[in-house]
Structure 1
Amino acid sequence: MLKKSRKHIELFAGCGGMAIGMETAGFSLLFANEVSPMASDTFAHNLLGIDISKPNKKVQWIHSRYSIDEYEKRLRENLLSHDIEENCELEFKSDLSDLNGSLLVGDVRHLRNKFIKHKIKNPYNGNLDLVSGGPPCQSFSLAGKRQLNNYKNRLPLDFAEICETIQPKVVLLENVKGILSAFKQGDSKFYAWFEVAKAFALKGFAPVCMLLNSKYFGVAQNRPRYIMLAFRADVFNKMMDNFPNNEVLLKVSTFFKKVHSDFENLNLKDLDYYDIEKNNELFDGIILPKPTTFEKKKWISVQESIDDLSLKGVQEKSKYVKDINDLFETDLFTHKDLHNHNHRNHTEKIKNRFLFYQTLNYANGLRDSIFRKKKGDLHITEEEIKKLYTSLQSSVKEFNKIFESQIIFEKFFKSVSLSKKHSQRALIQALPSPAQLTIPDDICHYSLFESRVLTVREMARIQSFPDWFIFKGKETTGGNNRRFEVPQYTQVGNAVPPKLALSLGRHISLLLTKIENNG
């Protein structure tokens, strides 16, 4: 691990994926903020070595309905449900030095209000290197409600106001791909990414916007993610001095100036975001981060990430698994037991449905046709079923242990009932995982001998979390609790993959070093 020479604050910290990546990249965490008590429990355990169910000065509640002695109730509390600032343990000096190494649990809006109340301004004298954060995704997701006045749509702007207050050199904002899509409010059309970029520019940060994909950074997942690196004006000016003809910086510079001189006439053409799929030549490690590889044959597959956890016997850990465990080594934990690897119980109906999805992975050219027909309750010919059966016999080892004859296979195939969910599918073992990992029943294992959803540990492996990292709280939740509880599966699915965070952290550190060395 690198010597921790840079200073880092994280807002919207989640369970800690970004934090362990940044720590490995050489950033020392001054403090973090997270609104979910469940995710905070995981963060505190793994990053701070603290059990938050017991009072500890390194974990401070910004607000709660419950007293300091009622930690079990606090761990199940919805901290977004009220605005009353009660039972607040958070106190700090004007330079925030007593927050070092702390986790602040609560709504980031309350933290912003505390800074305003205490007249906090540039507490680190311009020497804070990075503030990172991933504001909640619901209001920006294509599947969510696009309400302009929804308070969650305000959170990136609250993020910008805090950054204006504490003046980091760089801001890293992470979000879902859906932030790039247009949405309507009345007769007006908005682009959330562009609105957020304008907000940060108004606060004095020049935004460089991009769409990355985790699979290019050594993660076993095909996961597009929006990233904005916003540079404090004086830092950005030094970047311009160091890279005067860089096309990315020139575009951002023109946008930044227009924000401050002709704001009312800004339009979408004034700023670009750079898609790693379409603009890969710009991801050269100068201004935009350089990926580990663009070569498909070097992408990490789900088989490499989880095959040693299968039921078929003790398997040797892959190079990928050994690498993430070595890369994110910690002094806090020495345990060797495997945690968060509980298999969920399924009915025979669900197991058969998963088995059907798994068989389709071997259907070759028949796959899409069979899936559509089955979904639509349309006739699938005997010839199609025979072709699939023959393909499975030749492609899948020990296939006949499941289906002893074509007749048994046909009976199974015709009796299976599919879910109405179009996102359900089986992993393809030779490829990275698809992005949908937040809800566990969207994806099932690739092995015909394990017709089940993934365990939390398997999902964590795919996301590049090391095995020592333990997820706390409930495994899953339902009903109205989905609105605010962040159980283990959701913690993993929402997290920034540590290997992606590591790449971004190293890139930011190298950029700052270049500026510092050249003046």
Structure 2
Amino acid sequence: MANELTHIELFAGCGGMSLGMESAGFDLYFANELSPMAGETFAYNILNEDLESLSQKKASATKSLWIKSNFPQNDLENRLRENPFSTSIGKFSDLSNDVSLKEKLLIGNIDHLLDFLNKNPKIVRKLKLENIDLISGGPPCQSFSLAGKREKNNDKNQLPLSFARFAGLVKPKTVLLENVKGITAPFTEGDGEDKRKHYAWLEVSKAFVLEGFVPVCMMLNSKYFGVPQNRPRFILQAYRKDVFNKLKRLQVNNNILLTSERFYNLVIANKDNLENISERDFIYYDIESNPEIFDGIILPKVSHLYNDFITTNDAIEDIKNASIKYKLNKTKGQYPNFLNSVFANNVNHPIQIKNHEVRNHNFVVKSRFRFYQVIEQFKNGLKKGATDLFTGKEISKELLDKLKIEFSKHELLFLDNNGEEVSKVATNIEIETLIKSIPTRKHSQRALRKLEPAPAQLTIPDDLCHYDPNEPRTLTVREMARFQSFPDWYEFRSKVTTGGDMRKFEVPQYTQVGNAVPPLLALALGVLIKSQLQSLNVNN
């Protein structure tokens, strides 16, 4: 049965936002994603199109269309590994003036998509007639400003404007933009007297006003919505002006809406002098400071508070032995089985849980991870001292002696005379010798804390290791996906990881997961938007 509402997903990634929106009651009209690697995962899980299988058969995709490519339609093998930043001169395209975009994934640059739409007004008219309820996505925004100079050769600085222009072209009822917490930190442009401070979140808000939308901004944290992860995220929801007016009439004297309306009017009045509008003229609402106003009316409804947060243990304890081939809905974890029920499996995937392969570590790495597991239990400043010791910083003899005493209370990982790994409580001399043999310069590495939500997901797998002493290893893709609230049936495709210069354009499985919008967070936002639109009975 089709859902009542429709959405378009830009910067779709591997599909976290779309999965949550589908569960909230939105039908995907079409999606756009730059990376063919992330697109392969999206197509497989959201559209039920297996691009790898089609590639092996030398067949063409029907639901995944390339906006531009250097390779023909039946060469999926090369298309799936193509550098998306090299396609500007690509002579192949799957788009034509009579193409149907419905239920499609469009792979490629959003600006190339905008160029196509501007050259095909008939398709734009059709999109407007669809009266799309929502356009959502997460473009990079960290150094975006409407005024002043922009870094040359940095296309990312233009992407928020591309998002806003797309919204202005299609005119959905509402827009949802997701971004990292860093969007709220100030940045500067120019030199000398031309030096100017900007706030990207404010600049993005202005951009949507200029396209006819009234923004409401908020800082969320996924842990308040049942995600086992301490993941702050900036969210902008902007209403088409006529939709906003109806909502304002329904929510009389709502301070959040009144503040947004004042900002909208201020931007319109100063559209030729936008630099006159500063961070003092608008506000974003922080869930950490005022959780009580997140009540499901204008801001999404909180489902978990403080002692009720989902923990690391809740998320991955049931699959910690990665040598076992776990089956869907057969594990003992209440949280993962909840995810599998909330996000129903609409595609015919195998019953075995995928993406749970452990990476191979040598002894030095495993022994170092065991140290990280141990020092997570240290108190009274000893954890910082141990970290400094690992990363080559000078520490006092007094602190070193205290660390040796503390380490001697825990089992560490050694090599015995037979070259086998063993855990044992060590003497001071053994501890000092071991520390010298496993140094690191990485400051970001740490072990998970079992009874807390996980730290914000990272795209580099080596930065986190398991909490269990029998598992001195990095997390699997599946474990990271659990922290992001993906159900176990959701299978991540393409390469597992990458490195070197290929990091500039490849989006392997770990990066796909780390960059994703948590589906449970998307679900909460989708439920809010659906409730708002249905309460307005918006038909125009």
* Shared fold per TM-score greater than 0.5: yes
* SS of residue paired to 2:89: coil
One of 160, 179, 185 as aligned partner of 1:181: 185
Is structure 2 residue 75 aligned with structure 1 residue 70?
Answer: yes
One of 302, 305, 311 as aligned partner of 1:301: 311
Is structure 2 residue 232 aligned with structure 1 residue 227?
Answer: no
1:90 alignment partner in structure 2: 95
Q: Please identify, of 372-381 and 194-203, the stretch whose mean Cα deviation from structure 2 is larger.
A: 372-381
2:49 alignment partner in structure 1: 50
Q: Distance in 2 between matches of 1:471 and 1:419?
A: 30
- Flag the 1:421–1:147 CA change in 2: closer, same or farther, 3 A: farther
- Flag the 1:299–1:442 CA change in 2: closer, same or farther, 3 A: same
Instruction: Give deviations 1:313-335, integer Å, cap 9, x for gaps.
Output: 97952211110011111231252
Offset at residue 78 of structure 1 (A): 1.2
One of 456, 478, 484 as aligned partner of 1:463: 484
Offset at residue 469 of structure 1 (A): 0.6
Instruction: Give deviations 1:267-304, integer Å, cap 9, x for gaps.
Output: 22111111111122321211111111222x21111111
Q: Distance in 2 between matches of 1:292 and 1:252?
A: 25
Q: Please identify, of 195-204 and 255-264, the stretch whose mean Cα deviation from structure 2 is larger.
A: 255-264
* SS of residue paired to 2:129: coil
2:384 alignment partner in structure 1: 368
Is structure 2 residue 65 aligned with structure 1 residue 60?
Answer: yes
Aligned residue type for 1:268: E
One of 378, 381, 404 as aligned partner of 1:385: 404
One of 79, 98, 101 as aligned partner of 1:99: 101
Instruction: Give deviations 1:451-485, integer Å, cap 9, x for gaps.
Output: 11101011001111111111111011111111111
Instruction: Give deviations 1:428-457, integer Å, cap 9, x for gaps.
Output: 111111114211011111112111110101
CA contact (8 A) 1:78 1:485 kept: yes
Q: Distance in 1 between matches of 2:430 and 2:339?
A: 40
One of 496, 503, 512 as aligned partner of 2:517: 496
CA contact (8 A) 1:218 1:292 kept: yes
One of 315, 330, 346 as aligned partner of 1:331: 346
Instruction: Give deviations 1:116-164, integer Å, cap 9, x for gaps.
Output: 1012247333721100111136757xxxxx8377211111111111111
- Flag the 1:412–1:294 CA change in 2: closer, same or farther, 3 A: farther
Q: Distance in 1 between matches of 2:91 and 2:348?
A: 35
CA contact (8 A) 2:223 2:230 kept: yes
Offset at residue 207 of structure 1 (A): 0.8
2:224 alignment partner in structure 1: 216
CA contact (8 A) 2:7 2:133 kept: yes
Offset at residue 423 of structure 1 (A): 1.1
Aligned residue type for 1:290: K
* SS of residue paired to 2:488: coil
One of 373, 376, 382 as aligned partner of 1:358: 373
Gaps of 5+ in 1: 141-145, 394-399
Is structure 2 residue 90 aligned with structure 1 residue 79?
Answer: no
Q: Please identify, of 272-281 and 37-46, the stretch whose mean Cα deviation from structure 2 is larger.
A: 272-281
- Flag the 1:306–1:416 CA change in 2: closer, same or farther, 3 A: farther
CA contact (8 A) 2:19 2:519 kept: yes
CA contact (8 A) 1:175 1:227 kept: yes
- Flag the 1:241–1:444 CA change in 2: closer, same or farther, 3 A: same
Offset at residue 341 of structure 1 (A): 1.0
- Flag the 1:283–1:149 CA change in 2: closer, same or farther, 3 A: farther
- Flag the 1:197–1:329 CA change in 2: closer, same or farther, 3 A: same
Offset at residue 80 of structure 1 (A): 1.8
Gaps of 5+ in 2: 145-149, 413-420
2:292 alignment partner in structure 1: 281
Q: How many residues align?
A: 503
Q: Distance in 2 between matches of 1:16 and 1:518?
A: 28
Offset at residue 412 of structure 1 (A): 6.0
CA contact (8 A) 1:352 1:416 kept: no
2:163 alignment partner in structure 1: 159
Is structure 2 residue 119 aligned with structure 1 residue 117?
Answer: yes
Q: Please identify, of 314-323 and 469-478, the stretch whose mean Cα deviation from structure 2 is larger.
A: 314-323
CA contact (8 A) 1:353 1:416 kept: no
- Flag the 1:126–1:337 CA change in 2: closer, same or farther, 3 A: closer
Q: Distance in 2 between matches of 1:408 and 1:217?
A: 48
Is structure 2 residue 308 aligned with structure 1 residue 292?
Answer: no
CA contact (8 A) 1:38 1:486 kept: yes
Q: Provide the alpha-carbon RMSD of the alignment.
A: 2.4
